[in-house]
Structure 1
Amino acid sequence: MTQPAVIRRAFGPRPPLPDHLRTAMSLASNGVPVLPLRRGKVPFGNCPACVGNACGGRPNMRIPGPCQCPGVCHAWAAATTDPDVIASPAWAAVWRRAVCVGYHPGGAHLTVVDLDNADAVTWARETLPATRTVATTRGEHWIYRGAMTSRNGVRPGVDIKSAMAYARYLGPGSGHLTDLPDTVRTLVAAKPPTTPAAMPAAVAPTGEGTCPHGTPAYLERGIAMAVERITEAHSAVHATVYRVFLAVLSRHGRCGCLTDAHIARLFTAAQSKGETARHCADAWTNARTTLGL
């Protein structure tokens, strides 16, 4: 009996890879960086050591690093084409909890024009050159060859996902990839900066603890100092934003005095330093989770 036959009899056939892992390995073999997504189609949160990028982040996050964490940390920056990482024990438990596969379009030199409704799809068909298209729950992804800056809400129902962003993998789609047109690049160039009205709503905690603020001026002074600290940050901005959010919530998060207007001021300060609304919301959520709010 040959050795391979003995091995097969002793150990049986190799078990098939889970669907998500198999899809991820296939994408990675074609140069597409992948990551698992959890319920809600969002990345898994950072590990305790990396919460708020306290670890320093990774070089491609424009934050001094690198982070040596073996887990699925740092959202889109965790995306990889390395099969040893994708199938590693550190990622195995996460794949079992994943609901879908995400990928980093910019890392594959791609741009996804995410069309979120029928009107947006109609606009694309009338305005953009044909390319690879993938059906989504509410619209379509139009995928172009070429990377660019990512930005949400460039027009009603249209998001751009490329560099420093992730997209959900929904299948190979149909049609042939074409080069990224200037029309799409212009959408981002013309998009005005995010305003407080575009920020996530209902982010203020509603605690019921005893209020320690002798006067409203106490809270106002605390918010002003927090805004100043963020504004004066010259490096490790993401980590600074998280630490400021943590400090504000540790002092003012349990009595219910914080309002959405206060949070908007903090988010606006963070965005003036280059943070996105999504990063602000993630840092705020991580701070609340750390404090058990």
Structure 2
Amino acid sequence: MSATTEPLRVALALAAAGVPVLPLRRGKVPFGNCPSCKDGACGGRPNMKAAGPCRCPAPCHAWAAATTDPHALTSPVWAPVWREAVAVAYHPGGAGLTVVDLDDSAAVAWARETLPATRTVATTRGEHWLYRGAMPSSNAVRPGVDIKSMTQYARWLGPGTGRMAVLPAAVRALVVKEDTTPARGEVASSLPTRAAWGRSVATGCRHTERYVRTGLERGLALVRARTESGAGSQAFGVARFLAAQHTACPGPCGLTAIGEEIVTAAVSVGVPEPYARRAVANGLETAVERAA
């Protein structure tokens, strides 16, 4: 190549820093597959969700073609796409990153209220929040919010500002899919009876027993009210809120017992127990992270 195009120059710099990259064409989308890979004829790449045998040297399969190899990026088979490229994308999961894509001002406001501060990159309509750590990708995890990491690409819009934080439990919880609530009368699982929260397990709590029980009962009522859907997400929110009330206590505050009561409430309206436990554990952990 006699001259280096601007997208290729950016791509090479990112690749040198360990960030897998790929070119984007007009419309800011990946280039189409070559004839051998079109319509999945090749079986897909080994790094795709459904692993396949494809070893095509061309930039096929979008994010799965992202690479840090400068020889591949400057090879003759990639040269034509760089001449047409208008932007550069990267594979966050391949770089050990997760991008929380906030598509509008409401989503940005939600993130500022809910998620730990981290490095941010301005986009046309919102922001990208970057965290250290990879996870499964998922679109529309809530209004205006996509998670881009292991099986998606993100457009490179610059290094951003701020210090990058470790991927928090609150982001991981966004992509945990709650199973459909079973029909009325069915039981997702049966939990053994456990001791309720009380002063005996909260010897270091600075709150009165009445204060804690009142807040807990209100939270449990919110979870039990979600009889059609959303009980798992509600359990996460209740666990996070209640745990946050105890961040200034010397402890112990019996948060494990509180968590068990929330899990039981979620299971009672059809949430599978494994999901309920993950949601509650993530909620309790998130409160601790935000207080740290």
Q: What is the TM-score of this pair, normalised by structure 1?
A: 0.59
CA distance in 2, matches of 1:50, 1:37: 18
2 CA distance for matches of 1:192 and 1:179? 28
Of residues 10, 21, 31, the one that matches 1:44 is 31
Say if 1:64 and 1:130 are closer, same or farther in 2 by CA, change over 3 A.
closer
For residue 105 of structure 2, what is the aligned residue in structure 1?
118
Number of aligned pairs? Answer: 180
Once the two structures are aligned, what percentage of the paired residues are identical?
68
Pair 1:52–1:123, CA change in 2 (3 A): same
| Deviation at residue 53 of structure 1 after TM alignment | 1.8
Change (3 A) 1:137 1:64: closer
In structure 2, C-alpha distance between the alignment counterparts of 1:119 and 1:154, rounded to whole Å: 14
Whole-angstrom distance in 1 between the partners of 2:62 and 2:14: 18
Deviation at 1:98, TM superposition (A): 0.9
Deviation at 1:66, TM superposition (A): 2.4
Q: What CA distance in whole angstroms lies between the structure 1 residues aligned with 2:159 and 2:51?
A: 36
Offset of residue 51 of structure 1 = 0.8
2:81 is aligned to 94
Structure 1 stretches lacking a partner, 5+ long: 1-13, 194-293
Q: Which residue of 2 aligns with 1:26?
A: 13
- Would the aligned equivalents of 2:26 and 2:85 in 1 still touch at CA under 8 Å? yes
In 2, Cα distance between equivalents of 1:191 and 1:33: 32
- One-letter code of the match for 1:81? T
1:68: Cα distance to partner? 2.3
Instruction: Give the aligned partner of residue 69 of structure 2.
Output: 82
The 2-side partners of 1:73 and 1:108 are apart by 19
2:151 is the alignment partner of 1:164: yes
Q: Is the Cα contact below 8 Å between 2:49 and 2:151 reproduced in 1? A: no
Match of 1:127 among 111, 114, 131: 114
Question: 1:224 corresponds to which residue?
Answer: none
C-alpha distance in structure 1 between counterparts of 2:110 and 2:14, whole Å: 30
C-alpha change, 1:15 and 1:90, in structure 2 (3 Å) is: closer
User: Could you list the per-position Cα deviations for residues 9-49 of structure 1 after superposition, in whole angstroms to 9, with x for gaps in the alignment?
Assistant: xxxxx965211001000100111000001122211111111
Shift of 1:190: 4.3
1:124/1:192 CA distance change after superposition, 3 Å = farther
Could you say which structure has the larger radius of gyration? 2
Pair 1:143-2:122 in alignment: no
Q: Distance in 1 between matches of 2:122 and 2:72?
A: 29
Q: Pick the structure with more helix per residue.
A: 1
Letter of the 2:148 counterpart: K
Which residue is equivalent to 1:208? none
Matched letter for residue 86 of structure 1? L
- Pairing 1:57–2:44 present: yes
1:185 and 2:148 matched: no
The 2-side partners of 1:79 and 1:73 are apart by: 9
Matched AA of 1:42: V
Tell me, yes or no, if the aligned pair for 2:140 and 2:146 is still in contact at 8 Å.
yes
1:70 to 46, 52, 57: 57
TM-score, with structure 2 as normaliser: 0.59
Give the CA deviation at 1:64: 4.5
Equivalent-residue separation in structure 1 for 2:105 and 2:83 (angstroms): 34
Distance 1:192 1:83, change over 3 A: farther
| Equivalent-residue separation in structure 1 for 2:130 and 2:65 (angstroms) | 21
